[in-house]
Amino acid sequence: MKYPILQMNNEQELEVKKFNQNEKIHLETINCIICKSANYKILYTNDRYGINQQTVMCNSCGFVYSNPRMSEESLDYFYSSNLYREVYEATNDFEHDFSERIRKVEKNIKINEPNFNKYYPQLFLDFICSLNIDYKTVCEIGCGYGTNLLFFKNIGKEVYGVEPSKTSVKIAIDNQIYIKQGFVNDLENKYDLIVLKHIFEHLYNPLKDLEKIRFHTNKYLFIEVPGNFRRIASIQNAHNFYFTENTLHKIVTKAGFNIISTEHCKETEFIFALYEKTKEKNINFEYSYLNEIKKIKNIYRYDNIRYAITSILKSIGLYSLLLPLRKKILKILNF
């Protein structure tokens, strides 16, 4: 199936075209990282930008992942490419004014009961605080400008961070948040809580990285990732994996962590999970592979019906007029 492509400007479209034809990009085939199976069903052949990237579902355990995917070397090239800057950074909220963000964080730092009905920037902190865990030091991997770390700093925690982008590190340091340029492999000390916020789905080898992370955490690990609940998370070639709570827990617990609490935001379908480091490795979290496959097939079907209706309404120029009708049609079709 073709995945619906976002509206982009001419320059972005050109970058995507160049990227698709780039001979420096090498793809590699991988087996499912949960069950090792090489047997999969193709879900989509492109991502939301039109990049030729295949997304598949494992036929044995239901895990959704990119396959074949960019080699480790090609991934490095991709993250430093014009395409990444032009397409990804322009459509993310990367360019928001940082001092404005700091002001907001400082002004609004009051811990509330987490509300998972709607997404808000402090939701992760409200979630962690609601669990009454004891921690002093926090390290965020892939911390960007350090905005998330500010929340922790403002409730009295000692904060640290690693971030691959030199530009982000410089901005953070200019704003008195001392983070280091680097990534998982550059961790040096041990921290009470390690934070991975919208990073885990990008990792090339999550199990290997979790091993390193486990070594550097005294107690806890917090992960926030896009989830598949009523729909499959937005397809983009920077994401190597598309998790449900089952597949996320399966991978993280395998690396020597216990689940303390897990929730998801109804609006964005992001998963919030707090784990505790265990003494022994290989804690076995089990889920029904058959039910997982059934669930993914259902939401895949639902997504495609939704995309087809949207595309028909758009092609006849009646999209905004008939949008309420689309909801009714979906309801009649029992989704």
Nearer to Zn ion, 58 or 159 (CB): 58
Closest approach of Zn ion to the CB of residue 58, in Å:
3
Closest approach of Zn ion to the CB of residue 37, in Å:
5
Closest approach of Zn ion to the CB of residue 62, in Å:
7
Closest approach of Zn ion to the CB of residue 200, in Å:
17
- Kindly state the number of chain residues that form the binding site for Zn ion, as judged by CB under 5 A: 8
Closest approach of Zn ion to the CB of residue 169, in Å:
37
Closest approach of Zn ion to the CB of residue 44, in Å:
18
Nearer to Zn ion, 172 or 203 (CB): 203
Nearer to Zn ion, 39 or 311 (CB): 39
Closest approach of Zn ion to the CB of residue 158, in Å:
39
Nearer to Zn ion, 31 or 154 (CB): 31
User: Is 74 among the residues that bind Zn ion (CB under 5 A)?
Assistant: no
Give CA–CA dist 185/182, Å, rounded. Answer: 8
Question: What is the three-state SS of the chain?
Answer: CCCCCCCCCHHHHHHHHHHHCCCCCCEECCCCCCCCCCCEEEEECCCCCCCCCCEEEECCCCCEEECCEECHHHHHHHHCCHHHHHHHHHHCCCCCCHHHHHHHHHHCCCCCCCCCCCCCCCHHHHHHHCCCCCCCEEEEECCCCCHHHHHHHHCCCEEEEEECCHHHHHHHHHCCCCCEECCHHHCCCCEEEEEEECCHHHCCCHHHHHHHHHHHEEEEEEEEEEECCCCCCCCCCCCCEEECHHHHHHHHHHCCEEEEEEEECCCCCEEEEEEEECCCCCCCCCCCHHHHHHHHHHHHHHHHHHHHHHHHHHHCCCHHHHHHHHHHHHHHCCC
Nearer to Zn ion, 56 or 203 (CB): 56
User: Is 221 among the residues that bind Zn ion (CB under 5 A)?
Assistant: no
Nearer to Zn ion, 172 or 225 (CB): 225
Give yes or no for a contact between 231 and 268, defined as CB atoms under 8 angstroms apart.
no
Residues 99-138 that bind Zn ion (CB under 5 A): none
Nearer to Zn ion, 63 or 124 (CB): 63
Closest approach of Zn ion to the CB of residue 88, in Å:
28
Which pair of structure tokens corresponds to residue 291? 């039910």
**Choices 59-67, 134-142, 176-184, 213-221; region in contact with Zn ion by CB under 5 A:** 59-67
Residues 19-58 that bind Zn ion (CB under 5 A): 32, 34-35, 37, 58
Nearer to Zn ion, 137 or 228 (CB): 228
User: Is 61 among the residues that bind Zn ion (CB under 5 A)?
Assistant: yes
Query: Which of 19, 40, 49, 63 is close enough to bind Zn ion by CB under 5 A?
Result: 63
Sign of the alpha-carbon dihedral angle for 98, 99, 103, 109: positive
Residue 149, amino acid: L
Residues that bind Zn ion (CB under 5 A): 32, 34-35, 37, 58, 60-61, 63
